[in-house]
């Protein structure tokens, strides 16, 4: 499933084009991938991201992302038929 640039659902990859959201403590607390990490690791990540955003390094390194309207973060939608017949992977078209 592609994640749109303006996604507001709040899961881990939702802010791929708006990384400043990850600097907000409340935002991180609502994202299980971050909330379950050791706080020291998260703090180091926040400091590094904040530094890269302030210096323009993040934008320089990820300029290609800023041109995208959607990003494939590896999410897949699995659909079960409910009859024990298996699972299909939804294709995006």
Instruction: Kindly report the backbone phi and psi dihedral angles of residue 18, in degrees, each rounded to the nearest multiple of 5, phi listed first.
Output: -130, 65
Structure tokens at 17: 């084009």
Domains of the chain, by residue range, sit at: 2-89
- Predicted confidence at residue 90, as pLDDT, reads 64
Burial of 12 (0-12, 13-18, 19+ CB in 10 A): middle
- Predicted confidence at residue 80, as pLDDT, reads 77
- Predicted confidence at residue 69, as pLDDT, reads 96
Q: In 3-state terms, what secondary structure has residue 75?
A: coil
pLDDT of 53 strictly over 90:
yes
Tens digits of residue pLDDT in 17-51: 999 999 999 999 999 989 999 999 999 999 999 99
d(CA 9, CA 89): 21
- Predicted confidence at residue 89, as pLDDT, reads 62
| C-alpha 74 chain-centroid distance | 10
| Global confidence as pTM | 0.78
- Predicted confidence at residue 84, as pLDDT, reads 67
Alpha-helical runs (H) found in the chain: 25-29, 32-35, 39-55, 57-61, 63-66
């Amino acid at each position: 499933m592609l994640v749109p640039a303006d996604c507001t659902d709040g899961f881990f990859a939702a802010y791929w084009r708006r990384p400043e959201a990850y600097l907000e403590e409340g935002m991180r607390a609502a994202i299980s991938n971050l909330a379950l990490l050791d706080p020291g690791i998260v703090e180091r990540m926040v400091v590094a991201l904040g530094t890269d955003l302030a210096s323009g390094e993040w934008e320089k390194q990820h300029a290609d992302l800023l041109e995208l309207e959607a990003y494939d973060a590896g999410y897949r939608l699995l659909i079960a038929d409910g009859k024990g017949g298996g699972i299909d992977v939804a294709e995006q078209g």
